[in-house]
Amino acid sequence: MAATVTRISIAPVKGLALVHPDEVVLEHTGVAANRRFHIVDASGRRYNQIRNGRLVQIKPVYDADSGHLTLTFPDGTIADADVVLGDAVTVDFYGRPVTGHDVVGPFADALSSWAGRPLRLIQSAPGAAVDRARGHVSLISEASLRALAAGAGDTEPVDGRRFRMLFQVDGIAAHGEDEWLGRRVGIGEALVVLSGTVGRCAITTQNPETGVPDLDTLRVIESYRGFTNKRGGQRELDFGVYGEVLEAGIVRVGDAVQPLELSLLDATA
């Protein structure tokens, strides 16, 4: 059975609730509306799910064409306006500077009131706010989520939203996506190359609806996959893969996902 896309997930505002469109345009910088905004505190430090898991309770709607953003808070409060940019600001993303602009209007006040501390909303260029400079496309399989559930002693698959991947696919074996590293892979009308595995952090332990930790994903991944040594000897727990876009195109839920060539390691063996 051919692998297919079963879910598309984007985060217009990093750390807030995910949005699940039926189709996206995958460009060389990823999906234009994905991770277009991020939140910082009064000192300019990123304010994310590690600092406040409840951020996932805020639901964003962003129209990249019109530049209109809506944030709906758990109490029903809504901040809604066209995006207007203010002063330039540079934010540290794991040692990598990302330049953006303050978003003026109702969003900073609404976020600050909800969090009980001064916060600002920042917009950066499409594709700029990728964690640790990893690729503009990411992918995880349904079978991997089922394997994780089995490791935790559960019968239902783990909710893939915990991992905040762009594409969720079915039709391959557990962690079969790892075998696509180094390959060109067709996803719908787009073509990507997958180049690495994603090391995981404590955010994945949080419930994707509430932000409250309720599953020790890291312990379970370690128990059946172990650690992988990566850049600089850092040990990471890998789950899912990332890569770059070679050819832009539309990707829809239900589209085929097909590796097009052997990995570079296989080709030279």
pLDDT reported for residue 15:
96
pTM score, whole prediction: 0.93
pLDDT per position as a tens digit, 181-192:
999 999 999 999
Q: What's the average model confidence in pLDDT over 22-46?
A: 96
pLDDT reported for residue 132:
59
pLDDT per position as a tens digit, 232-269:
677 889 999 999 999 999 999 999 999 997 644 444 44
Percent of the chain whose pLDDT exceeds 90: 85
Q: What's the number of CA atoms in the CB half-sphere (13 Å) around residue 30?
A: 28
CATH, domain 3-27+134-268, list 3.30.70.100, 2.40.33.20, 1.10.150.80, 1.20.272.10: 2.40.33.20
Domain ranges, ordered by start, for the chain: 3-27+134-268, 37-128
